[in-house]
Amino acid sequence: MVAKNSSLLSCWPDGYSRYYSVTNLLSIVFKKNSIRILDVGGDSEWMSKFLDATDVSYDLTIIDTRKPDFVNKKDNIHYLQKDFFTVDATSFSAEAVINTDVLEHIPANLKEPFIEKCIEIAESVAVFSAPQNHDDVTRAEKQINKNYIDFSGKQQYWLKEHFEFGKPNFNTVESIAESKGLPYITIATNNLENWALSFSINLINSEVVPLDGVDELNRYYNKNIHTVGDFTGNPYRKITIVFKDKKLYESSKRNIEKFFQPDTTSHLDFILKSLQLITDNFSVLSKDYDSTKQKLSDLDREHSLTLKNLRQTQEAYVSVSKELNVLKSSRVYRYLSRFGFLHK
């Protein structure tokens, strides 16, 4: 099981729940056995970090069209920058094929072929993780995106792709598995209310204005992921694990259900901590606003005084210039200037 790794606890709950759930599924299914994993679309090192926190011995191959956003220094991690759809399925050998960030970022006509290919390549299990195609989920995403537009003037790029490509219907994953006679288990993760609140707070902190206490809130949520209600209620994300090895299904089904058993013991505490964070930050911003407002008032007063002094100086300059011109046009000035008396 994933240990309470201190460095991982600072992740956004949106990401922590995803990686925590998938790696724990693999840990429950394969236990301490060495496994080969193909991570499709995993261009970051988060999956390997979470795997390192389990007791699973693994060899991880990542395939993505994008360049990796990390420097790989491990012999058990391999990165292929390729289009998954163009790769021959027989060229891979992996007990587990996983994806945590693909189905919501590819066109609708590619979702089923993607699911089919993942299942085809997998020797034992295929794991699919994505936001579910549900009216409440879309409503929450649209509101958060609207708030982001109000702050930044542009759409949030992750959510923008969700709207463009559409989120997957998990009935499709389940139907494909059933058509092949394969057992599966679907897990509800990222309780929607929790997700909307924590994602909004982290998004504002990351891309709009730094907020105090966000790291502490994330650590609280992630450390207590089983009791804050992450696996309860209407989920933002679903994870389906399809078993090609039916013995693994039978041996792990009960343990999976037990591990992801719903619990809301700390749910209210998380909501209250989130509200306190918002209140504390607005209190600080309010004080900063009052201080800034006073400074602006003082600067405005100083600016007005400076302009007044400048005008008086300009007026004095004009007056002196006129007197000088009058003096220069006098006969005495011309006489004195002609005979060089003004240069002595």
CATH for 38: 3.40.50.150
Percent share of the chain, pLDDT over 70: 93
| CA distance readout (Å), 51 to 47, 94, 130 | 6, 16, 19
Residue 8 is predicted with a pLDDT of: 94
The pLDDT tens digits for 113-143 are 999 999 999 999 999 999 999 999 999 999 9
Residue 343 lies in a domain: no
Based on the structure, what is the number of domains in the chain? 1
pLDDT tens readout for residues 100-113: 999 999 999 999 99
Judge whether 135 lies within some domain.
yes
pLDDT at 282 over 50: yes
Residue 19 lies in a domain: yes
Cα–Cα dist 116/204, whole Å: 37
The answer to whether residue 340 sits within a structural domain is no
Q: Which stretch, 37-51, 188-202, 307-321, has highest mean pLDDT?
A: 188-202
Q: Is position 76 within any domain?
A: yes
Q: What pLDDT does 21 receive?
A: 97
Q: Is residue 201 part of a domain?
A: yes
Q: Which residue has the higher pLDDT, 322 or 246?
A: 246
* Host domain of residue 158: 8-265
Please name the amino acid found at residue 257. E
Is residue 339, in this structure, part of any structural domain at all? no
Looking at residues 90-109, what average pLDDT do you find? 93
Measured in whole angstroms, the distance separating CA 206 from the mean position of its chain's CA atoms is 8
- Confirm whether 331 is domain-assigned: no
pLDDT at 344: 47
The upper half-sphere exposure of residue 108, i.e. CA atoms within 13 Å in the direction of its Cβ, equals 7
